Amino acid sequence: MPDLESLMCGYQQADEAAARLFIERVSPLLLRYFLVQPNNRRFADDLLQDTWMRIHKARHTWRRGEPVLPWIFAIARYTSLDSWRKSRRLESREIQVEELPERSASTSSSRAPDLDAMLAVLPASQREVILLLKVSGLSIEEVARATASTAGSVRQKAHRAYRTLRALLRGKNVEA
C-alpha cells in the first residue's frame, strides 16, 4: 500500500487513482479532528468538504519530501478558524432566544467524565495540541508544523493540558 507522500505526489500529477486513495485515507483523520472539537462538531462535514477544496487548490504548494499530515492539518486548522470567525459574525446578527431548551436527563446522569466539558476548560492552544496529538495521532514534530510553533512549545502546552485534565479527573478546582 503506497504511503501518503507518494499518494500526494500522484495527486499533484493528476493521478485520479492516487487522488481517490489519498482522499479515502485522509478523510477519516480530518473528520475525527473536526468531530472532537465542540465548536466544530455540528459543522464537521462542511469543514471536511471545505478543507478538501482548500487542499485541492493548494496542492501545488506541498513540497516533495515534506510530511503530508502536518501540511493537511495546518489547512484544516485554518479552515476551522475561518469557519469560526464566519459563524461569530453571523451569530452577532442573530436574535437570541429568551430561554434555552432543557437538557435531557440521560446526558446529565452519566457518571463518566464529560470529555467536551473537560476539554472546554483548556485554553484553545492546549486543546488543539491535545486533539492533534491524541485524537489525530500526530507526533510532536508534526503538531509543531501544523500549528506553526516549536516542538518545545507543543510539549509545554501538552504538559500543562495533561496537568489540568488530571486535576479535573481528581475533582479538584482548576483555574482557567
What's residue 176's pLDDT? 47
Domains of the chain, by residue range, sit at 28-92, 114-176
Instruction: Give 146-176 pLDDT, tens digit per residue.
Output: 999 999 999 999 999 999 998 888 876 655 4
Closest CA to 56 of 20, 6, 2: 20
CATH number, domain 114-176, options 3.30.70.270, 1.10.10.10, 1.10.357.10, 3.30.465.10: 1.10.10.10
What's residue 71's pLDDT? 95
What distance, in Å, lies between the first and last C-alpha atoms of the chain? Answer: 45
pLDDT, mean over the chain: 86
Instruction: Give 32-44 pLDDT, tens digit per residue.
Output: 999 988 777 888 9
- Report the distance separating Cα 130 and Cα 163, nearest Å: 12
Domain 28-92 has CATH 1.10.1740: yes
